[in-house]
Structure 1
Amino acid sequence: MTIELWSWPTPNGHKVHIALEELELPYRVVPVDIGAGDQFRPEFLAITPNHRIPAIVDPDGPGGAPLPLFESGAILIHLAEKTGRLIPANPAARAICLQWLMFQMGGVGPMFGQWNHFANYAPEKIPYAIERYTKEVRRLYGVLEKRLSGATWLAGDDYSIADIATFPWVRNPERRGIDPAEFPSVRRWTEVIEARPAVMRGLAVLSERQRQGPMSDKEKENLFGTTQFTRR
């Protein structure tokens, strides 16, 4: 049965695109243009009250019942457990996999996102904020470097949802002023993941809809303005 995927070509969207391709699960994409405000449409809010992409509807959830699901980490866990792939069966190894998944969800994603906002989109440059998040981004790259200097993958010996979750955020370090040569183990890991055919297919999902050029005032309002704070 075909999974309904509500998404947009962002790092969080790419996590699920890549996982679906790696797991060879059939899916149908419903574009949610977050710059245009599609995330506030009633049909999307019926799946996720948090109006954030991605979200899925799995018509064959546990017990055969349809399962609407939001939060990319929860979606990755569900898809991995559904297929028995990309997550270790051994309890200790599984805990380590989830540890690094939570590291991405609670650290890499939010901190990289804050850096991106204050460095690129905030209406005024706040040196304290830029310096704070620049230092935190570099610190997180250092944590990943330490881990990957002693392990092939974040969870250990096997590629997993922890790698899939982290990769879309960590790729293209130059955009954050990071020299890839400074973190050679992260660069090695990134290059190996980028070469995977399923990853290439996942990154291509909705790529034709990627915004080109500066962000419009309407896009800024939908993404950062008061519109997102309205109770719905």
Structure 2
Amino acid sequence: MSLKPITVYGIGPGPNPWKVVMILKELNIPYIYKLIPMPDLKTEPFISINPNGKVPVIEDPNTGITLSESGAILEYLVETYDKQHTISFTAGSKDYFQAKQWLHFQMSGQGLFFGQAFWFTRFHPEKVQSAVDRYVKEVHRVTAVLDRVLEGKQYLVGDKFSYVDAAFVPWFGFVGLWKIDLEKEFPNVNAWLSRLQARPAIAEALKQKAELSAPH
């Protein structure tokens, strides 16, 4: 049975929707990427789709499900469409729960602190150096956690690539803002990201992200 395309609502440069695109591409699920202008996120009709007014959101015509929150979307996609566990793990197994652990760390650790560092570096209307320093320090700390965990390992969980590895990729696109030399400071993370970015599905998603983020 052929699948109908899943609609992904996102913005061009925003990292979180691209986690979703990477998993859709890994699972060969067709999708339509619908760009939402930033001013429209907190207004109708979008807030009827997601009352929180944030992206990503997916609408899946194959199941009738509309879902927001990137972590929840990734779990939904692999549990619904990865029955062979090519990029996920058998429900109830140790690896299944460890993948959830790292997904939660991505959202509450990497996503939160990288996001705040990005905001205070780029968008906050006043220069608040103490905030920049705090959050950039957290970027280093989160990356150091990953670097330690990846010592002697190719991937985070189960000795194979999984959806949770992909979840970390988009936010690392911003480390240049804070002059972090991943190769020198965090060699295990750097090698891991190189492996991930070499995967065709992830490379294609990053290419699409760059195209949609470029000035027109």
Aligned to 1:182: 185
d(CA) in 2 for partners of 1:211, 1:41: 25
Identity %: 36
d(CA) in 2 for partners of 1:42, 1:136: 35
Provide structure 2 residue ranges, at least 5 long, that are not aligned to the other structure: none
User: Which amino acid in 2 is paired with 1:48?
Assistant: N
User: Which amino acid in 1 is paired with 2:81?
Assistant: T
**What TM-score, normalized by structure 1, do the two folds share?**
0.84
Q: CA RMSD in A?
A: 1.7
Tell me if the contact between 1:17 and 1:205 (Cα under 8 Å) persists in the aligned partners.
Answer: no
Aligned to 1:108: 110
Cα deviation, 1:136-187, whole Å, max 9, x if unaligned, reads 1111110010011132111231111211111111245322221111100000
d(CA) in 2 for partners of 1:93, 1:82: 18
The answer on 1:70 being equivalent to 2:68 is yes
d(CA) in 2 for partners of 1:172, 1:115: 10
Q: Aligned to 1:204, which of 201, 204, 207? A: 207
Tell me if the contact between 2:9 and 2:55 (Cα under 8 Å) persists in the aligned partners.
Answer: yes
Correspondences of 1:86-97 after superposition (within 5 Å) = 86-89=87-90, 91-97=93-99
**What TM-score, normalized by structure 2, do the two folds share?**
0.89
Q: Secondary structure at the match of 2:79?
A: helix
Q: Give 1:206 deviation, angstroms.
A: 5.0
Aligned residues, how many? 207
Cα deviation, 1:39-74, whole Å, max 9, x if unaligned, reads 13423222211111110011122xxxx000000101
Q: Is 93-102 or 167-176 further displaced after alignment?
A: 167-176
Aligned to 1:45: 47
User: Which amino acid in 2 is paired with 1:183?
Assistant: F
d(CA) in 1 for partners of 2:48, 2:208: 23
Aligned to 1:25: 29
Runs of 4+ in 1 over 4 A off after TM superposition: none
Cα deviation, 1:23-46, whole Å, max 9, x if unaligned, reads 100111211122xx1213423222
Tell me if the contact between 2:8 and 2:17 (Cα under 8 Å) persists in the aligned partners.
Answer: no
d(CA) in 2 for partners of 1:25, 1:197: 14
d(CA) in 2 for partners of 1:198, 1:177: 28
User: Which amino acid in 2 is paired with 1:146?
Assistant: R
Cα deviation, 1:83-118, whole Å, max 9, x if unaligned, reads 224221152110000100000011100100111111
Q: Give 1:212 deviation, angstroms.
A: 3.8
User: Which amino acid in 2 is paired with 1:22?
Assistant: E
